[in-house]
Chain A
Amino acid sequence: MHELSIVMGIIKIAEDHAKAADATVIDEIELDIGTMSGIDMDSMEFAWTQAIKGTMLNGTARKINSITAKAKCLDCDTEFEIKNYYDACPVCGEHLIDIVQGKELKVRSLLVS
């Protein structure tokens, strides 16, 4: 349930930026969330509905860019999509892989007025 801490962090970032731009309404928030960022989307959804009450994100449309995780095999240089850390390289079967994408957890932009 660290997702609640994450949502609170998102609210703070959004409100800080909106206030700094003298905005009163946040119409849309765009988030980048990697499939291996450590966020469980169901927990995030639950935390979101509870946490945004009484904040500037109440009623804000949400755009989530899900970024598919990719790894690179250190043995044969193949780049491939992964779902789990323990996935093997589809070409050589090795587990010597490094994650190159999919750990993102970022507020990309806000649409304010």
Chain B
Amino acid sequence: MCATCGCGSDGKTTFYLVDKDQPHTHDHSHPHDHVHPHGHTHTHDHPQASEKKIIDVEQDVLHQNNLLAERNRGYFDAKNILALNLVSSPGSGKTSLLERTLKDLKGELEFAVIEGDQQTNNDADRIFATGTKVTQINTGKGCHLDAHMILHAMQGLKPKDNSVLFIENVGNLVCPAMFDLGEKERVVIMSVTEGDDKPLKYPDMFHSSTLCIINKTDLLPYVPFDIEKAKTNAKKVNHHLEIIEVSCTTGEGLPQWYNWLKSKVLQPEAV
């Protein structure tokens, strides 16, 4: 189940809950203390065909991941946690958007963050500096996060009830599209320093997302990016997609993103 992309046997996934009392060099793996769901098998005997028999499997290849994703989803629902899966190519400004959001909404909403990268704790350290609980997942050779990793990250992170959980996926517009993590919404981020045809080039990601954030709009005067064309392209791929334009540098458009976020947070029911 764990991402085994690439060929090295050393591509193991590590989890690192950032803690001010622990030195940065302390990488620890969480123990595998959960039961994997098992499917069941139907067999049909074909008397004429001597020992050969056909097994009707009829199982989705992503079945295991999807079961674990639903398990995560149940955990989030029970604790009224809004889990968001943030996906983009590397360098679109996912971490900057998070830093800005965590600072601006501090005191209004409770947050927790899972950072996914192949290597380093750099992003988790940036998030930790904002005073937010964060776990860094290093996928080693893996090109995406999967539901299994989120399950283990959650064991260390333990996000609070009624909080918002940002899961910053590995920067990659291809592979993470296929893996449900149990999130409520998938947010794809693109920036104006990329091509305005990005939604057409990487349609799976735009098709599976519910919100598209176009970042770095302060740079529009300096780049050939046609924002209307980008929006049209994104809508061609996914007509359900909502689009918000922001600049994390100037703050332009951020109120709209914050309103979207707050509209998705369910008020806890009085007991």
A interface list, Cβ under 8 A from B? 1-2, 4-6, 8-10, 12-14, 16-18, 20-21, 23, 27, 38, 50, 74, 84-86, 88, 95-97, 105-113
**Cβ-defined contact, B6 with A1, below 8 A:** yes
* Binary A-proximity of B52-94 (CB < 8 A = 1, otherwise 0): 1111111111111100000000000000000000000000000
Contact status of A105 and B57, CB under 8 A, knowing A4-B5, A5-B5:
no
- Which of the four size classes fits the interface of chain B? 35 or more
Give CA–CA (A113, B206) in the complex, Å: 44
Residues A12 and B64 in contact, CB atoms below 8 Å apart:
yes
Which of B156-164, B235-243, B255-263 lies on the face that meets chain A? Answer: B235-243
**Residue in contact with B233 in the complex, picked from A9, A14, A86, A97, CB distance below 8 Å:** A86
- Minimum CB–CB distance for B38 against chain A, Å: 8
Q: How far is the CA of A108 from the CA of B4 in the complex (A)?
A: 23
Of the stretches B15-23, B25-33, B104-112, B170-178, the one at the interface is B170-178
What separation, in Å, do the CA atoms of A17 and B43 have in the docked complex? 9
A-B contact list, 8 entries, CB within 8 Å: A4-B4, A12-B64, A13-B59, A21-B53, A86-B237, A88-B236, A106-B61, A107-B59
Main secondary structure of the interface of A (DSSP, over half): mixed
| Bound Cα distance from A4 to B174, whole angstroms | 14
Contact surface of B with A, Cβ cutoff 8 Å: 1, 3-7, 38-39, 41, 43, 51-65, 143-144, 146, 174-175, 177-179, 199-200, 203-204, 206-207, 233, 235-239
Shortest beta-carbon distance, B92 to chain A, in Å? 20
One of B57, B199, B200 near A110 (C-beta < 8 A)? B57
Give chain B residues whose Cβ lies under 8 Å from the Cβ of A27: 52
Give the residue name and chain of the B residue nearest to A107 (CB).
B57
| B-chain residues with CB within 8 Å of residue A13 when the two chains form the complex | 39, 57, 59, 61, 63
Chain A residue nearest to B176 in the complex (CB) = A2
Cβ contacts under 8 Å, B4 to chain A? 4-5, 8
Q: How far is the CA of A2 from the CA of B233 in the complex (A)?
A: 25
State A46–B51 Cα separation when bound (angstroms). 32
Nearest neighbor of B234 in chain A, beta-carbon distance: A86
